[in-house]
Amino acid sequence: SGSDALGRWINIGLILLVLANVAAAVLETVPSLMLRDAAVLRGFEAFSLVAFALEYGVRLWIAPEDPRYRGLSRRQARWRYARTLPALVDLAAWLPFLLSALWGVNLRTLAILRLMRFVKIARYSPGMQSLFEVLYAERQSLLACLWLLAAAVLISASAMYVAEGDVQPDRLGSIPQAMWWAMATVTTVGYGDVYPLTAIGRVIAGLTMLTGIIMIALPVGIIATAFVDVIKRRDFVITWG
């Protein structure tokens, strides 16, 4: 239990390190802060690299002690572990940056890669697994919803293209442009950069909005139900490793 408490503190430290990394990657892109070449950020980046590499190494080292790999040789256990999703996420948190130091990569791409470290938090978070389970369990129904949404967007967009293609040729002059409008309408985002001007176009838009409510209701219903099942079936336990 002494090592349990230690493990908990290391976990919290790693979560904080990830959050600090994400914050740094986000703020670095703000030109007015002029953080791009700040020495402190360079130092922090180097420290993070070492920490994440160390975490990866330790986890790989102790993999053979995991009961799931019982009966395998130490080398086999480590190789099996290295190919799991959590191990790959951990690897992606430091390896690309080491390589980029050797070859030199676009700064913007590096910022994105650094943001991906945020995904690491998923492994420390209780309940996250349940969310993914729900989405995975209902993948077929959700795909059917996606098809319906695609059909709704296509039909709305083509109707709007016919109705207002000549009225607003710069905004609704092709079906892809009209699909942009239809997507923003069906999902009820409604930026307001494109909207119908004629009476017939507004009727089409009204029907698209109604479709949008149904399009929201379907996945909500599917996910809600599935989530209930998963919540009832399992406790949320923090899984380390």
Q: Binding to a copy of itself (CB under 8 A): which residues in 163-202?
A: 165, 173-176, 179-180, 183-185, 187-193, 195, 199, 202
Q: What phi and psi, each to the nearest 5 degrees, are found at residue 121?
A: -60, -30
Cβ distance to a copy of itself smaller for residue 58 or 231: 231
Binding string to a copy of itself for residues 31 to 70, with x set by CB under 8 A, is what? x---------------------------------------
Q: Is 11 in the site for a copy of itself (CB under 8 A)?
A: no
Among 68, 98, 144, 234, binds a copy of itself (CB under 8 A): 144
CA gap 193, 177 in Å, rounded: 11
- Residue 93, judged by CB atoms within 10 A of its CB (0-12, 13-18, 19+), counts as buried
Q: Is residue 13 within a helix (H) or strand (E), and if so which, with residue range?
A: helix 2-28
Quote the least distance from Cβ 182 to a copy of itself, whole Å. 10
Q: How crowded is the C-beta side of 52, counted as CA atoms within 13 Å?
A: 31
Under rule CB under 8 A, which residues in 121-140 are in contact with a copy of itself?
121-122, 125-128, 130-131, 134-135, 140
In the block, tokens 């690299």 appear at: 49
